[in-house]
Amino acid sequence: MGLLAGLLDALYPRRCPFCGTLTGREGPCENCERELTLIALPRCHLCGCAADECSCEPPRPEYNAVVAPFYYENAVKRGIYRLKFRGAKRAAEPFSAYMADCYEREFAGLGLDFAVAVPLTKRGRRLRGYNQAQQLARGLCRRIGLPFAEGVLVKLKDNPPQHRVKRRERVSNVYGVFAVSPKAQVEGKNILLVDDVKTTGATLSECAKMLKIAGAKSVFCVTLAVTGLKRRRNSAENQTSSCQMRQTVTK
């Protein structure tokens, strides 16, 4: 190990990007690695889930397609929480590697012009210290050789976080929240839109809508994770069945 590498390890010890455990090596710890399962192929490009776990619901989104390597669960859910709310900014780099692999497998050859990130308001960025979607986008772009365009999308106002809003209210919650900068050149462009997690897709769809209104030809999306509605329902049903079985046994 070189002197500089040793110094960096001393100052910034290597941790699991998902849980923060000290590992002394790149990548996830053994416990988190066991919880990582890539979304199976083939995938539905509208919801991002495996085709047999498709959770698409109307209306059709404004973006052309979305892909993600993981479902929003277990280690991935912990990792995104750390990235957004615990200052784990460095986790964006290893996370972007998973996203790059997914991009190369699903979107390579599309001829995209540049990438943009789902924005935060100035206040939101100041409070967090950084935009996690932008950190993921920069890491992703370095890996796939795509230019990153900062400031194309702007967030006009703070709205309640999507995870705190009822599912049926999420479209209205982001309506009028985003805009394309007047200085941005998006006319006729094929754009990659990056965010940390897709839940209903309302945020991605609203951003894509504004880009297309401004003249973008197409908008493709990559996130680290997607929420699988059908998967969550099946999990809840299985938990209920298991609970009922335990109650039957103990009676």
Q: Find out whether 230 and 54 touch, Cβ atoms under 8 Å.
A: yes
The yes-or-no verdict on residue 91 having pLDDT over 80 is yes
Q: Is residue 154 part of a domain?
A: yes
Q: Which residue has the higher pLDDT, 148 or 163?
A: 148
In-domain check, residue 1: no
User: pLDDT of 24-58, one tens digit each?
Assistant: 888 999 999 999 999 999 999 999 999 999 978 78
**Three-state secondary structure along the chain?**
CCHHHHHHHHHCCCECCCCCCECCCCCCCHHHHHHCCCCCCCECCCCCCEHHHCCCCCCCCCCCEEECCEECCHHHHHHHHHHHHCCCHHHHHHHHHHHHHHHHHHCCCCCCCEEEECCCCHHHHHHHCCCHHHHHHHHHHHHHCCCECCCCEEECCCCCCHHHCCHHHHHHHHCCCEEECCCCCCCCCEEEEEEEEECCCHHHHHHHHHHHHCCCCEEEEEEEEECCHHHHHHHHHHHHHHHHHHHHHHC
- Give the Cα separation of 55 and 161 in Å (integer): 21
Inside any domain, residue 100: yes
pLDDT of residue 13: 82
The whole-angstrom separation of Cα 50 and Cα 137 is 23
Q: What is the pLDDT of residues 180-233, one digit of tens each?
A: 999 999 999 999 999 999 998 999 999 999 999 999 999 999 999 999 866 655
Q: What is the pLDDT of residue 160?
A: 60
Give me the domain span that covers residue 98: 37-51+60-160+171-250
- Give the predicted TM-score (pTM) of the model: 0.86
Q: Tell whether 138 is covered by a domain.
A: yes
The per-residue pLDDT for 189 is 99
Q: Is-contact 47 66, C-beta < 8 A?
A: yes
**Range with the lowest mean pLDDT among 58-62, 140-144, 151-155, 160-164?**
160-164
Kindly tell me if the per-residue pLDDT of 251 is higher than 90.
Answer: no
What pLDDT, on the 0 to 100 scale, is given for residue 206? 95
User: The tokens of 54 are what?
Assistant: 């498709």
Q: What is the pLDDT of residue 52?
A: 93
Please state the domain count of the chain.
1
With respect to residue 13, please indicate whether it lies within any of the assigned structural domains.
Answer: no
Q: Is residue 24 part of a domain?
A: no
The CA distance from 197 to 227, in Å, is 8
Residue 135 maps to a domain = yes
Euclidean distance between CA atoms 152 and 30, whole angstroms? 39
Query: In this model, does residue 92 exceed pLDDT 50?
Result: yes
- pLDDT computed for residue 165 by the predictor: 57
- CATH of residue 131's domain is 3.40.50.2020
